[in-house]
Structure 1
Amino acid sequence: MILVTGGTGLVGAHLLYKLVKNNEKVRAIYRNEHKLKHVKQVFSTYSDDDDALFNHIDWIEANILDISQLNDAFTNVTQVYHCAAFISFDPNKHKALCKINIEGTANIVNFCISNNIEKLCYVSSIATTGKPINNEVITEETHWNPEDDNSFYAITKYGAEMEVWRASEEGVNVVIVNPGVILGAGVWSSASTQLFKKAHKGLTYYTTGTIGLIDVKDVVSIMIDLQKSDIINKRFILVAENWSYQKFLQTMTKALNANPPKKLAKPWLLQLAWRLDWLLHKLTGKERQLTKQMATSLTTKTIYSNQEIKNALKVEFTPINKTISSIANRYLEQV
């Protein structure tokens, strides 16, 4: 039996489709019943037999912070894909980020150890790969510096990775994937698909930074191949292509028949914007939209290497132009 946490999220839902399509015996965790519709939406992007495939999944209501519920979820499980996470760059969400990303992962790790799980695949983020020195290309060996101005999200995902490495020290075979921005259709409330919602309304500004992108289907295919392989106790950056934000935003808006961004948001403007956003939050309690770390990221030119995963699995990535076009078409059909 394969257990998938975060089964109603973008990666989890696409992973579930691939697993059940391969006739695997799968159990998936969900927290809110209304989010199960996300999985059906994802399944519908592949074929018309989504209900039949959906019904092959052994769904169990559980929270990764609830030990008693996890005890039931791990019954007869041999492999685990840990996709559950809390994604937020709002520093005011730091308590929830710590609870779900670190404590939740620690719980999954403890159950993997006590249940002698054969292999654990953890979905992390390129946010934990560290920052380059002298504009170097980022690889799996790039040093993570805890003294850097890291976002709370990055800090908690790094803490979660430490828990997964603890599992490897306790005898559980593990692999970690560090995807860039994951693009995929179906879960229109996910962080990356929100970009398509904004792009559909038209955009005014672009920034000078770069972004690492990958198709969700590539992510889940790699995860499954890694689980089936003899590769253990390694991490892999998953980025198909590195694009400028300008190219990314213009490509999205064009695919959505929307107005492309034509004005450059200069670094000083972003630095002013995040300070105003902070002030607005303090005065009104409104949720943060732009943080200091986000503003810096939007103007930073960073290149991620995918050579390690290419060497390990001979991966051929889906072209990002094709991915964006496919998602945009699906978005226009469904939303």
Structure 2
Amino acid sequence: MILVTGGTGLVGAHLLFELTRKYDTIRATKRHSSDLQAVRKVFAYYTTAAEADLLFEKIEWITADINDIPALTEAFKEISIVYHCAALISFDPSDEKKLRRINIEGTANIVNFCIANNIKKLCYVSSVAALGSIPKQDMTDEKLNWNPEENHNDYAISKYGAEIEVWRGSQEGLEVVIVNPGIILGPGFWNNGSGEIFSRIDKGLKYHFPKVSGFVGVQDVVKAMITLTESEISNEKFILVSENLSFETVLKNVARYIHKPEPHKRLKKWMIATGWIFQKIGSWFGRKQEITRESINGLYENNFYDNSKIKQAIDLKFTPINKVLKETAEIYLQEKTKE
């Protein structure tokens, strides 16, 4: 049986949809506060309501925090493949201990259970944040070595630390693959993460900013995860980025697709420093964001990512981001009319 941790997030929900189309039973972890209806809603984006219900019923849900050893013991019974999606995303310095506990210690627990239960393969969802950064316009690829002397935010450090735990598992005989997605775009979860881009623009967001980063559609992320996990490829990591684009481009395209005015004012550093607009955009990168030198600079540093390795490994054809945005906008507007 397959186990998916973090099954109620954007990646987890889309992954479960694809897996339930292929397999009879999937086990997934959730927290006590998780909204299962949000997952069911994602299923209904791609099929009829009746089929969505049938697919959803294939999921065996287990309430299990990834730091809850007794709960994980139950979750891992009769499991052969693990997709580890559960993580905390936060850029608030006050969450440093929580990030380490969930992302590093939690991943260590998953790895330990994989080893103890002779799991065939572990697929870990990391982030491009764990790759570090290259100055100017050079391309970041999987060979980039983490530089501990750089000013990394706590989230990036926690994801890198989690990768170290996964590599430890590989040294102990566990087959692993790691994916490093850029900013993941897709339908659902409009009030947090990248989904909030749509709701913020719908409410009249006026500001854009020039930062360039890597973007990828959630369906491409899920396709890559399943293909890699079911292949003979192991002990490798892969950047998952469709295109390197400026936030200005992405925000203006979203506005066009949901028929709202384009953000026309450029965000200046003094606006961020005073804090009056910072919280509006902070949640796109995580749940909480405080004003720090690293967080301000991060909004103006460009990052370019090389996706050639994954395309060569599994012949993945990435969906253009404009297409992802347009299709996501259509679902957003359909959902809005039902409210």
User: What is the deviation of 1:271?
Assistant: 5.7
**1:215 paired residue among 206, 214, 217:** 217
Pair 1:25-2:3 in alignment: no
CA distance in 1, matches of 2:63, 2:257: 38
Pick which of 122-131 and 144-153 moved more: 144-153
User: What is the deviation of 1:212?
Assistant: 0.9
Aligned to 1:144: 146
Kept in 1: contact 2:189–2:196 (CA 8 A): no
Aligned to 1:256: 258
User: What is the deviation of 1:288?
Assistant: 4.0
Stretches of structure 2 that go unaligned for 5 or more consecutive residues are 280-287
User: What is the deviation of 1:34?
Assistant: 4.8
Aligned to 1:316: 317
Aligned to 2:98: 96
CA distance in 2, matches of 1:179, 1:190: 17
Aligned to 1:226: 228
CA distance in 1, matches of 2:15, 2:79: 17
- The residue type paired with residue 167 of structure 1 is G
CA distance in 2, matches of 1:169, 1:82: 18
Q: TM-score, length-normalised on structure 1?
A: 0.93
User: What is the deviation of 1:274?
Assistant: 5.3
CA distance in 2, matches of 1:244, 1:277: 18
Aligned to 2:190: 188
User: What is the deviation of 1:135?
Assistant: 2.9
2:90 is paired with a residue whose SS is coil
Kept in 1: contact 2:209–2:266 (CA 8 A): yes
Pair 1:43-2:43 in alignment: yes
Kept in 2: contact 1:10–1:190 (CA 8 A): no
Deviations 1:288-329 (A, max 9, x none): 454433322221122111001011011101111111111111
Kept in 2: contact 1:196–1:252 (CA 8 A): yes
- The residue type paired with residue 319 of structure 1 is P
Kept in 1: contact 2:271–2:277 (CA 8 A): no
Pick which of 70-79 and 192-201 moved more: 192-201
- Where in structure 2 are the equivalents of 1:108-257 lying within 5 Å? 108-257=110-259
Deviations 1:166-201 (A, max 9, x none): 110110000000000101112224411112111111
Percent identical among aligned pairs is 47
In the superposition, relative to structure 1, how do residues 68 and 166 fare at CA in structure 2: closer, same or farther (>3 Å)?
A: same
CA distance in 2, matches of 1:309, 1:76: 30
Q: TM-score, length-normalised on structure 2?
A: 0.92
User: What is the deviation of 1:246?
Assistant: 1.1
**1:67 paired residue among 55, 69, 94:** 69
Aligned to 1:9: 9
Stretches of structure 1 that go unaligned for 5 or more consecutive residues are 279-286
Aligned residue-pair number: 326
Kept in 2: contact 1:203–1:253 (CA 8 A): no
CA distance in 2, matches of 1:85, 1:320: 24
